[in-house]
Amino acid sequence: MDPFLRLTARLSTLSGIAAAGMIMAAVVAVCHMVATRYLFGHPTIWQTEFASYMVIAAIFLGSPYGLLTHGHVYVDLLPRLAGRRLRLAMALLSAALCLAVCGILAWLSIALWLDAWHGGWRSETLWAVPLWQPYLAMVVGTVLMCLQLLADIAGLASGARRPFGLTDAEVAP
Amino acid sequence: MSPEILGLLIVAVTVTLLLMGMPVAFVLGGVALAFLVIFAGSGSLLMVAESLFGYLDNFALLAIPMFILMGATVAASRAGSDLYEAADRWVGRVPGGLVVSSLGACAVFSALSGSSPATCAAIGKMGIPEMRRRGYSDSLATGAIAAGGTLGILIPPSITLILYGIATETSIGRLFLAGIVPGLMLVGLFMAWSLIAARWQGGPAAAALPRFGWHDRFAVLPKVVPFLAVVVGVLYVLYGGVATPSEAAAVGALLCLVLAALVYRMWRPKDLWEVLRTSTREAVMILLIIATAELFGFMLSRLYVTQSLAQGIVGMNADPWVLMACINLFLLVLGFFIPPAAVILMTAPILLPIIIGAGFDPIWFAVVMTINMEIGLITPPVGLNLYVINTIAPEVRLQTILAGALPFMLCMVLGIVLLCLFPGLATWLPTYVMGP
């Protein structure tokens, strides 16, 4: 396989592992909060916010892995019915449009991140987290999505990646 | 351009992109970005990144990954098979009882998992081969599991009801309660039909089966009871007003992971990773759709499409029940093509003002909408449950599964009709427990 395809696949997988870890961290943080508040009656400060940020980060970091493994839900009615060449064309066009969306989102996230960094923005809570930290996950996630989509397009063009991940057996009537 | 024409244009572009196979989340995000830039100027993009983050920065959303993790843990363990076996030993003796106990197992599993395909897979893996082995027809065996699996999104906890709650700012606790009685009603209807079908079919299926002694019945319980205890605990915590859905879900997920490790020895990193991998993938997919659907909704209201649509429909002065029938038909058609989570996120915020304007109860409507979505899960072309069954029993043809599922679909339609005649089925329990 193409080194670029292999590299992006590895990056997306790593990103997915990080996302899974973050969801687990959110679970543990919320359980910790429940124990602190209901069992010991102590006030809680950071857990709610931490868990929310972990899940947000997991969404953006998990998305490249979703793209890699066709985990983002789509309507596969026409791709299944279409002939081989039309299916490839649909997959390419779909990936190109997704790339455009992710490109814009990446650009907007970077702009937001820079603002937060330079402006020293903090969340309006007791914990007062510097906002560039949670925003960073958006930047990394959207950029990785762009990379994964570029790899998808390259893979589709070279035949290394099947359109919509459908095997011939799956599309045969 | 008038908001009405703009609305039609948005629908046309969205549908085209969806049919082309573009992932739902990216279609919603892309259409929102494009229409904002073209019709509201590029300045409207400045807030997009911060808004996306803001939509997701919501503690209530945490319930989704947590309940998915809880369901995935139970689904990956052998709990489904054990549950099935328990149901079989306790009620399987009645003629046609195996289908009844399969449906019962589906209903209980639905309470462990908020997802329909997961319920279908967990009970079907054991139930379908067993029913076929004991002489039930392929269509009844597969149809019952396909339909029983759909209960996953009606009986709490339910991912789709959480999504509805978030999209429409309705109490998730109330929505969960509202799903219980209609869920049990559907189970009853399904069971009644299976008994009739089994009797019609005759032969071995209708014959009484060997009786399990009390020893056998109790022997199977130790593996099932801990998970049921978690469910009862989660529901108690939710309705006792002790904790929020997200908190209950997190504790439930952790407890299920611990139980799976203890009872089913799923403690190796490989097992844990598999559970985390599948649940992360599903949670990320749904949450990304939530974020982009919010952006889509923002775009629609920024361009006055939502408002003019709601005004237009209210202005028509149509009979509320005609309106309700049209909405259900519309949802049913959408459900044929798009998975429930996406349908609810895309349409609930737009439909809610119309529903309330016509004098319907949003909690009641959530239940009607969910049953409607359940039908979509067992109809082609995007019936997720059909594909799950197809993977479990590849030798049964899709037509056979469909033929078996059709009567159950009619049961669901009957369920919707009953809910329309007696709205109290959905609204009584939440009002009774949580007050008006």
Of A23, A74, A78, the CB nearest to B24: A74
Percent of chain B with pLDDT over 90: 28
How would you write chain A as a 3-class SS string? CCHHHHHHHHHHHHHHHHHHHHHHHHHHHHHHHHHHHHHCCCCCCCHHHHHHHHHHHHHHHHHHHHHHCCCCCCCCHHHHHCCHHHHHHHHHHHHHHHHHHHHHHHHHHHHHHHHHHHHCCECCCCCCCECHHHHHHHHHHHHHHHHHHHHHHHHHHHCCCCHHHCCHHHHCC
Please state the pTM of the whole predicted model: 0.87
- Looking at residue B360, what is its pLDDT? 92
- Per-range mean pLDDT, top range of B22-31, B96-105, B296-305: B22-31
Q: For residue A53, list chain B residues with Cβ-Cβ distance below 8 A.
A: 57
How far does the CA of residue B387 sit from the closest CA of chain A (Å)?
Answer: 11
- Looking at residue B204, what is its pLDDT? 61
Q: For residue B48, list chain A residues with Cβ-Cβ distance below 8 A.
A: 105, 108
Q: Which residues contact A3 (CB under 8 A, 6 or more apart)?
A: none
* B138-150 vs B362-377: helix crossing angle, rounded to 10: 150
- Looking at residue A170, what is its pLDDT? 64
Whether pLDDT at B178 is above 50: yes
**Identity at B289, one-letter amino acid code:** I
- Looking at residue A173, what is its pLDDT? 47
Cα B167 to Cα B170: distance, rounded to the nearest angstrom = 8
- Per-range mean pLDDT, top range of B56-65, B114-123, B218-227, B377-386: B56-65
Identify the CA nearest to A129 among candidates A64, A61, A48, A20: A48
A23/B285 CB distance under 8 A: no
For an interface test with B, which of A55, A140, A144, A146 has the most B Cβ atoms less than 10 Å from its Cβ? A55
pLDDT, one tens digit per residue, over B148-174 is 989 888 988 888 899 999 888 888 889
Is pLDDT larger for residue B29 or for residue B245?
Answer: B29
Residues 321-360, chain B, touching A (beta carbon < 8 A)? 337-339, 341-342
For an interface test with B, which of A105, A107, A145 has the most B Cβ atoms less than 10 Å from its Cβ? A105
Whether pLDDT at A134 is above 90: yes
Identify the CA nearest to B340 among candidates B158, B114, B147, B160: B160
pLDDT, one tens digit per residue, over B377-399 is 888 766 778 878 888 888 888 88
Q: For residue A33, list chain B residues with Cβ-Cβ distance below 8 A.
A: 247
By the CB < 8 Å criterion, does B243 face chain A? yes
By the CB < 8 Å criterion, does B285 face chain A? yes
Of B49, B247, B284, the CB nearest to A108: B49
Whether pLDDT at B207 is above 60: no
Of A20, A67, A104, the CB nearest to B280: A20
- Region of residue B11 (phi > 0: left; psi between -120 and 50: alpha; otherwise: beta): alpha
Q: For residue A96, list chain B residues with Cβ-Cβ distance below 8 A.
A: none
Of A19, A56, A108, the CB nearest to B280: A19
- Exposed/middle/buried for residue A58 (C-beta within 10 Å: 0-12, 13-18, 19+): buried
By the CB < 8 Å criterion, does B195 face chain A? no
Q: For residue A100, list chain B residues with Cβ-Cβ distance below 8 A.
A: 30
pLDDT averaged over every residue in chain A: 90
Q: Chain B residue with minimal CA distance to A56?
A: B56
- Looking at residue B314, what is its pLDDT? 75
By the CB < 8 Å criterion, does B433 face chain A? no
- Per-range mean pLDDT, top range of A142-146, B56-60, B168-172: A142-146
How far does the CA of residue A147 sit from the closest CA of chain B (Å)?
Answer: 15
What average pLDDT does this structure show over B221-237?
81
For an interface test with A, which of B276, B281, B334, B344 has the most A Cβ atoms less than 10 Å from its Cβ? B281
- Looking at residue A1, what is its pLDDT? 63
What average pLDDT does this structure show over B25-48?
91
Whether pLDDT at A105 is above 50: yes
Q: For residue B338, list chain A residues with Cβ-Cβ distance below 8 A.
A: 75
What average pLDDT does this structure show over A61-90?
89
Whether pLDDT at A84 is above 60: yes
Contact (CB, 8 A) for B151 and B160: no
pLDDT averaged over every residue in chain B: 86
pLDDT, one tens digit per residue, over B321-366 is 999 998 999 898 888 877 788 889 888 888 988 898 888 999 999 9
Predicted complex ipTM? 0.94
Whether pLDDT at B208 is above 60: no
For an interface test with B, which of A14, A59, A146 has the most B Cβ atoms less than 10 Å from its Cβ? A59
Tokens of B9: 């244009």
Of B25, B48, B62, the CB nearest to A51: B62
B243/A38 CB distance under 8 A: yes
What average pLDDT does this structure show over A83-95?
93
- Looking at residue B59, what is its pLDDT? 87
Percent of chain A with pLDDT over 90: 66
For an interface test with A, which of B280, B287, B289, B382 has the most A Cβ atoms less than 10 Å from its Cβ? B280
